[in-house]
Amino acid sequence: MRKEILAYMAGLFDGEGCIHITKTKAGKYNHRSDYHQLQVNLVNTNKKVLDWIKNRFGGSVRRHDIKSRSKAWTWYIYTIKAKDFLKMIYPYLVIKEKQAKIAIEFRENRKNIQWQNKEFQLKEIARREKCRQEISKLNHGGDINAGIKLSISL
């Protein structure tokens, strides 16, 4: 994919996108242990731009109404596709660089715990939860300047 498209996408994502690691508790949806999933989304009132993103990067677009705003749509992408998307735009990210780095490492270092011993399972779940908490903290203003890599001089 062309660098210009990736740079444009990174700028759009820095301003309107979000990176989450969601957590589902054990027992829900037949999971035997806590389940963590990488989710990337971008909200915009212009559906055409989200369809453009979907056509290039995959995922889905859903409409939702926010009372204080006009109609809005959200583009969603999950798990491995979300990691692949973040890896493509990572060199161009400014604001969400740190969250993207954690998310990429979360997916690349993810180990299958299904048939492992309990100690291994607990360590892996703890690692995943730590990644989730770090991204959540950054999303809520913690270490806000950590991702800034531009220096502007007038």
Q: Report the alpha-carbon distance of residue 40 to residue 73 in Å, rounded.
A: 14
* Residue 146 belongs to some domain of the structure: no
Structural domain boundaries, residue 68: 3-139
Structural domains in the chain (count):
1
How do residues 29-79 score in pLDDT, each as one tens digit? 565 667 789 999 999 999 999 999 999 999 999 998 767 667 899 999 999
Enter the tokens of residue 46. 């212009």
Place 124 in a pLDDT band, splitting at 50, 70 and 90.
Answer: confident
CB 147 within 8 A of CB 99: yes
| Average pLDDT estimate for 114-131 | 84
Given this model, what pLDDT does residue 139 score?
Answer: 93
How much is the mean pLDDT over the chain? Answer: 86
Bridge partners for 43 per DSSP: 74
Q: Report the alpha-carbon distance of residue 87 to residue 104 in Å, rounded.
A: 7
* Residue 153 belongs to some domain of the structure: no
CATH number of the domain to which 34 belongs: 3.10.28.10
Q: Report the alpha-carbon distance of residue 77 to residue 68 in Å, rounded.
A: 25
* Residue 128 belongs to some domain of the structure: yes
* Residue 11 belongs to some domain of the structure: yes
* Residue 147 belongs to some domain of the structure: no
CB 8 within 8 A of CB 52: no
* Residue 48 belongs to some domain of the structure: yes
Tell which residue, 19, 33, 34, 6, has the closest CA to residue 102.
Answer: 19
Instruction: List Cβ neighbours of 135 (8 Å cut-off, separation of 6 or more).
Output: 19, 20, 21, 99, 102, 103
* Residue 144 belongs to some domain of the structure: no
Instruction: Using the predicted structure, report yes or no on whether residue 11 has a pLDDT greater than 90.
Output: yes
* Residue 75 belongs to some domain of the structure: yes
Q: Report the alpha-carbon distance of residue 132 to residue 115 in Å, rounded.
A: 23
